[in-house]
């Protein structure tokens, strides 16, 4: 049976705490949060063994992050507000991951992952923002300047728990 997974780089503290506080204050619409992260491999369907998850999480794929300004993904239904990571290191991490764990590239079935394609290098803060709430939210967030540079050295695998309706770490710490 295939499960739904995603592979992310978790943002370290103190930035993760600051981002989570912004989520608590401003996100009324999404309750399916992963911890503050940069997505390296977007949700995909596969069957991952615990050994493969350990191999993925054991790979060293450093991601350099320098927090930048706010951005918005505008969708026809809702919007997503995010913080720019201002580096292209996510694409390098994805390439390193597939070189370090090549069998990962052969088991991902849906959707097809373009391992050389540069993913968006951002940290989502508020998700599913209705169009009529976007201007007010942006006005509240624009003066907030999360500054910092850091390196994320390893990845974390999450699986979608259908019963709970949320993402959980495959290997809890």
Report pLDDT for 114. Answer: 66
**pLDDT, tens only, 61-118:** 888 888 888 888 887 777 788 787 656 667 778 888 888 888 887 877 556 666 666 6
Contacts 24+ apart (CB under 8 A), 159-168: 159/3, 159/4, 159/5, 159/48, 160/3, 160/4, 160/5, 160/43, 165/32, 166/31, 166/32, 166/33, 167/6, 167/32, 167/33, 167/34
**pLDDT, tens only, 120-134:** 678 888 888 888 988
**Domains in the chain: boundaries:** 3-169
Report pLDDT for 106. Answer: 80
- Could you tell me the pTM of the whole model? 0.86
Q: Which of these CATH numbers, 3.90.1140.10, 3.60.9.10, 3.40.50.300, 3.40.50.20, describes 3-169?
A: 3.90.1140.10
Report pLDDT for 33. Answer: 75
**Residue whose entry in the numeric block shows the structure tokens 């940069």:** 38
**pLDDT, tens only, 5-61:** 999 999 999 999 999 898 888 888 776 678 888 888 888 888 899 999 999 999 888
């Amino acid at each position: 049976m295939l499960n739904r997974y995603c592979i992310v780089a978790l943002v370290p503290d103190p930035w993760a705490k600051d981002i989570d506080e912004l989520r608590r204050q401003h996100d009324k619409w999404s309750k399916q949060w992963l911890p503050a992260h940069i997505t390296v491999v977007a949700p995909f369907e596969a069957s991952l063994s615990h050994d493969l998850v350990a191999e993925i999480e054991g790979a060293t794929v450093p991601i350099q992050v320098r927090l930048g300004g706010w951005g918005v993904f505008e969708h026809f239904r809702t919007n997503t507000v995010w913080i720019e990571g201002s580096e292209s290191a996510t694409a390098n991490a994805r390439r390193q991951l597939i070189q370090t764990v090549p069998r990962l590239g052969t088991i991902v079935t849906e959707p097809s992952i373009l391992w050389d394609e540069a993913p968006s290098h951002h940290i989502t803060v508020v998700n599913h923002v209705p169009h009529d709430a976007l201007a007010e939210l942006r006005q509240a967030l624009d003066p907030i300047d999360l500054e910092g540079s850091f390196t994320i050295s390893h990845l974390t695998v999450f699986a979608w728990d259908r019963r709970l309706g949320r993402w959980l770490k495959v290997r809890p710490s």
